[in-house]
Amino acid sequence: MLSNILKKGFLSTNPLTSISRYASTSGQHTVLVVLYEGGEAGQKNKNILGCVENALGLREWIKQNKLQDRLKLVVTSDKQGENCVAEQILPEASVVISQPFWPCYLDQARIDKAKKLQLAITAGVGSDHVNLEAACKRGITIAEITGSNVVSVAEHVVMQILALVRNFIPAYKQVVNGEWDIAGIADKAYDLENKHVGTVAAGRIGLRVLQRLKPFDVHLHYYDKFRLDKSLEKELNVTYHPSVESLVKACDVITINCPLHPETEHMFNKKLISQMKKGSYIVNTARGKIVDRDALVDAIKSNHIEGYAGDVWYPQPAAPDHPWRSMPRHAMTPHYSGTTLSAQARYAAGVREVLGNWLDGKPQREEYLIVDKGKVVSRAYTEGDATKGHAQN
């Protein structure tokens, strides 16, 4: 296996980026770790733990705990296409570690290939890149590092709401382009105060968004399958909506904070978007596939939706010609809200904890488990498959 990869030249270009130095050890369990490339930043900054170069601190952890004979670590960013490193290593992998920012989609075909797979760990939050239904059938445990980056995302949401409502991106572009057209910017700039802002889901992130927005003196709204405590609703002065339709009809700004699973896939389709207030905004840092790509572009182009922001796309990485890159009035970023340096330290430690527990046969923290013993155990998800279509770019 390794010799094939060597033949393909993965090691010859940069030994640290494609295959880790543990690739040739004889550990009992192969751990496939799929991460984004660190490039120059990742080589210089050891705190960028989520990149191939720094491998979530796993190399040092293996050394410190003398686990070289038990774990064979294969670290790669090469995850797309039939001959990628991830596909080649999957048949021998007992564990796959991946992350939402650079997801290794574990669809039915890949799970069928990964005959020895026992555990998939998400370095971060959001395990929709795994076919949960297939994982249940095979008894594969799916764990994520719940809570690790929820503040990081909530802050990004507030930033992007303000960027849209205050028309920040075109104003910034004027400065860079040597322009000074105040009316041109003021034409679409508002205060957030007094606007109706609603979140789809008030879980860990959605709740933190509500808490951060309260001092802006806005009218807060939410929709979730599960209602917040009455005392919390009162403290936040937030209105509950029993359906997403009711929520979108009431709000000037919608922020999406639910997981991607069969109930939420393409939730924001043509029909729901048409029920939103004319001139409203959407900020989606949850998952790209919760919004129908082309329905959104149409709604922006027809001026029904005033602006769109977020950091999530489908599939990831987004194709260079993804229409959200070039549609009008957006404030999109690449997927990085949950991978601030602050967040990386937390989820890297969580990944090492989960791997260590698995190796020692110890129980995992309950809140980290998404699928366990053949069942979806997180109430935020339903059994199903949200990985379809990931290979399109």
Contact of 161 with 253, CB cutoff 8 Å? yes
Cβ closest to ligand NAD, residue 216 vs residue 336 = 336
Contact between 263 and ligand NAD (CB under 6 A)? yes
* Options 117, 247, 291, 380; binder of ligand NAD; rule CB under 6 A: 380
Is residue 374 part of an annotated ligand binding site? Answer: no
Helices (H), the chain: 2-7, 10-13, 15-18, 39-44, 58-64, 85-89, 108-113, 132-138, 150-165, 168-176, 182-186, 204-213, 230-236, 244-250, 270-275, 293-301, 323-326, 341-360
Options 330, 335, 346, 390, the catalytic residue: 335
Options 88, 160, 316, 344, the catalytic residue: 316
Given the rule CB under 6 A, which of 10-18, 84-92, 115-123, 281-289 is the region that contacts ligand NAD? 281-289
Separation CA 288–CA 304 (nearest Å): 20
Strand pairing category for 119-122 and 280-284: unpaired
Contact of 104 with 113, CB cutoff 8 Å? no
Given the rule CB under 6 A, which of 36-44, 71-79, 221-229, 322-330 is the region that contacts ligand NAD? 221-229
Contact between 225 and ligand NAD (CB under 6 A)? yes
Non-local (6+) Cβ contacts of 104 within 8 A are 32, 34, 79, 86, 96, 98, 129
Amino acid at 204: R
Options 149, 167, 257, 344, the catalytic residue: 149
Quick check: is 149 catalytic? yes
Q: How far is the CB of 28 from ligand NAD (least distance, A)?
A: 32
Contact between 344 and ligand NAD (CB under 6 A)? no
Nearest residue to ligand NAD by CB is 203
Q: How far is CA 375 from CA 101, 139, 144, 372, 383, in A?
A: 25, 8, 15, 5, 8
Given the rule CB under 6 A, which of 11-19, 148-156, 165-173, 234-242 is the region that contacts ligand NAD? 148-156
Quick check: is 316 catalytic? yes
Q: How far is the CB of 360 from ligand NAD (least distance, A)?
A: 27
- Residue 53 burial (C-beta neighbours within 10 Å; 0-12, 13-18, 19+): buried
Q: What is the secondary structure of 9-26 as a DSSP string?
A: THHHH-HHHHS-TTTTS-
**Which residue in the block uniquely carries the two structure tokens 């992007």?**
160
Report CA torsion sign: 335, 222, 343, 263: negative
Strand pairing category for 369-372 and 375-376: antiparallel
Given the rule CB under 6 A, which of 255-263, 269-277, 298-306, 358-366 is the region that contacts ligand NAD? 255-263
SS3 255: strand
Contact between 201 and ligand NAD (CB under 6 A)? yes
Contact between 264 and ligand NAD (CB under 6 A)? yes
Cβ closest to ligand NAD, residue 5 vs residue 124 = 124
Quick check: is 287 catalytic? yes
Total residues at interface with ligand NAD (CB under 6 A): 31
Angle at 364 between CA 363 and CA 367, to 5 degrees: 135
Cβ closest to ligand NAD, residue 171 vs residue 386 = 386
Contact between 205 and ligand NAD (CB under 6 A)? yes
Cβ closest to ligand NAD, residue 307 vs residue 310 = 310
Residues of this chain that interact with ligand NAD (CB under 6 A) are: 124-126, 149-150, 153, 201-206, 223-226, 257-260, 263-264, 285-287, 311-312, 335, 337-338, 380
Active site residues: 149, 287, 316, 335
Binding residues: 125, 149, 204-205, 224, 259-263, 285, 311, 335-338
Binding residues for NAD(+): 204-205, 224, 259-263, 285, 311, 335-338
